[in-house]
Structure 1
Amino acid sequence: MASTAISLSLPTIPSSSSSSSTVKPKAFISDHRHLFVAKNSPSSSSSTTTTRRTKQISTSFKIKCSSSSSSNALPSALLFDCDGVLVDTEKDGHRVSFNDTFNEKELGVTWDVDLYGELLKIGGGKERMTAYFNKTGWPDKAPKSEEERKKFIASLHKRKTELFMALIENRLLPLRPGVAKLIDQALEKGVKIAVCSTSNEKAVSAVVSCLLGPERAEKIQIFAGDVVPRKKPDPAIYTLAANTLGVEPSSCVVVEDSAIGLAAAKAAGMTCIVTKSGYTDDEDFLNADAVFDCIGDPPEERFDLAFCASLLEKQYVS
């Protein structure tokens, strides 16, 4: 089956804008910290369009990072997406594992780089395969009944997860810059850590335990896969995380890399920082509280725990 571009019926991403007539100013820092974008309050004479202004500033601009922050100003929890945030897994991890599974099962299906980028707009691997086959036609080896097709998809996804976990266990995919640093800062200050992902729980656990190490892993709670009935952009997984951790959503800072993840975090009432990944570089992150190319390690650090705390403080500044 050819891997030509397809048009899928994708879930609608809910708006995270407030219903209030006043739009809170926010700062967005782009790749390499070269661009500052300010969100202005819409004019009373305008329609629903929000005025945006961009201003070029010096390339030497840096976020002021400091690990010192008063304990009462810190987030109650940092919630990380997995794929694209902890590890840039999609193109050379999940996509490759899907294709290896399709090849093993002799389905005649290959997802190329561009096609997989489109499929990522659908949260969840099983949902992604189902939408693709519904659109392009089911393989000849697939069952005919809907119930049997669900089992078929589940079996494909189980094998794909096994292949993906082998990549992680062999450490063929590295952590993104700054991830371990930010988690260590948070754990040192008593901030709760969780990973909230639409990926299979075993795959997410493998990333956390193998790449972050067992000492960190035992302090990190994982919410993944089918733990909630509706996946991102639905806020269910972030709402579940806040409830389970016993924290207020407004005191949580989420690190995401995609528009559907951002929509889920904002719909849950949380502050969200975007660290863009290879597949999400051109997505719309207007509603994010901050946008970076990565978290970053010194001397190329983009932000730290104190910066996360500063975003929460700005929630209460009109």
Structure 2
Amino acid sequence: MTALRAVFWDVDGTLADTEMEGHRPAFNQAFRDLGLPFHWNKELYAELLSIAGGIPRVAIYAKDQGINLTQDQLKRLRDVKREHYLSRVCEGHVQWRPGVLRLVNELHNGQIKQWIVTSSGGPSVQALLNQAQGVMPAFDGVVSSDDVATGKPNPDGYRLALKQSGLPSDCVVALEDSAAGLKAATAAGLSCVLTPSPWDRDLVGAIHLAAAVFDHLGDEHNPSLLQQGPPCLEGMLTLNYMKSLLLYSGS
């Protein structure tokens, strides 16, 4: 019988709403600081989110605009953008997704290990976790884009988390919001619960890979809607539901 031993969390769009009011304004400010003729409004940024990773997103967009940025320019942009993002996090612009604080604490109380596996850089993740002190327990480990050569949908981040945690894939559930994350988690052999990003157009062709799909994680006064997967009578994603997912997938 397979028992749940760990949950691996994505960050952007899963743990917190980082994209539209965190990363996007930080990129725009960095563009201004460095004199680049770019501005990403919400509609454009939603389209660009199909490109995994912030700096690859910039490089591809710039090339489409007829501008080939050098590696030095991209590195400078990354550093400037990161500073603006860290400031926005500290100023409270980035909010936790519904049900996140409840579920992180529930898993901690149930002695389930929790790791972060993200395409964001380590300092950006740490800034967000600093804001969590006092409201959620510390995570057991972090794998960021700084730790692997290739980000999602490549499964290397999840495979590294499995290796470092010493856990087999069949006792871990991943939480994701994007097609890239879903593909990465399942390619690493993990069951994946999806809370779909509203702007990820690639999810239509990948959503069947998810073990369960909720609109959000849910709280007592803000129940979630199950869109795919085994019945959930509690109206929210819980420790018991994730345990049942592994039993269901193994049956």
What TM-score comes out, normalization by structure 2 length?
0.88
Using the alignment, how far apart are the partners of 1:93 and 1:118 within structure 2?
16
Greater C-alpha Rg: 1
Question: Shift of residue 154 of structure 1?
Answer: 1.1
**Which ranges in structure 2 are unaligned for 5 or more consecutive residues?**
224-235
When structure 1 is superposed on structure 2, of 242-251 and 115-124 the one drifting more is 115-124
Q: Residues 170 and 74 from structure 1, CA distance in 2 versus in 1: closer, same or farther, beyond 3 angstroms?
A: farther
Are 2:92 and 1:92 equivalent residues in the alignment? no
Following superposition, the deviation at residue 75 of structure 1 comes to 1.6
Alignment-derived partner of residue 207 in structure 1: 128
The equivalent residue for 1:76 is 5
Residue number in structure 2 paired with 1:184: 105
Q: Which runs of 5+ in 1 are unaligned?
A: 1-71, 143-148
Structure-2 residue corresponding to 1:246: 166
* 2:186 matched residue in structure 1: 266
Structure 2: distance between partners of 1:202 and 1:87: 15
Give me the identity figure in percent: 32
Does the 8 Å contact 2:13/2:197 carry over to 1? yes
Match status 1:293 vs 2:200: no
- Structure (1 or 2) with the greater helix fraction: 2
The one-letter code matched in structure 1 to 2:237 is: F
CA-CA distance at 1:217 after TM superposition: 5.3
Distance 2:222 2:96 in 1: 15
User: Do the aligned partners of residues 90 and 269 (structure 1) sit closer, same or farther apart at CA in structure 2, a change above 3 Å counting?
Assistant: same
Q: Is the 8 Å Cα contact of residues 88 and 277 (structure 1) preserved in structure 2? A: no
| 1:58-102 per-position Cα deviation (integer Å, ceiling 9, x unaligned) | xxxxxxxxxxxxxx8642110111010111111121111101110
SS in 1 for 2:208: coil
- Provide the C-alpha distance between the structure 1 equivalents of 2:51 and 2:28, rounded to a whole number of angstroms: 17
Instruction: Pick which of 161-170 and 266-275 moved more.
Output: 161-170
**Counterpart pick for 2:117 among 169, 176, 196:** 196
Aligned to 1:232: 152
After superposition, the CA RMSD in angstroms is: 1.8
The match for 1:46 is none
CA distance in 2, matches of 1:239, 1:158: 27
Q: How many residues align?
A: 237
Partner Cα separation in structure 1 for residue 57 and residue 202 of structure 2: 21
Contact kept in structure 2, 1:74 and 1:306, CA below 8 Å: no
1:122-142 Cα shifts (integer Å, max 9, x gaps) = 211111111112222217xx5
Q: Residue 305 in 1 paired to residue 239 in 2?
A: yes
* Paired residue type of 1:266: T
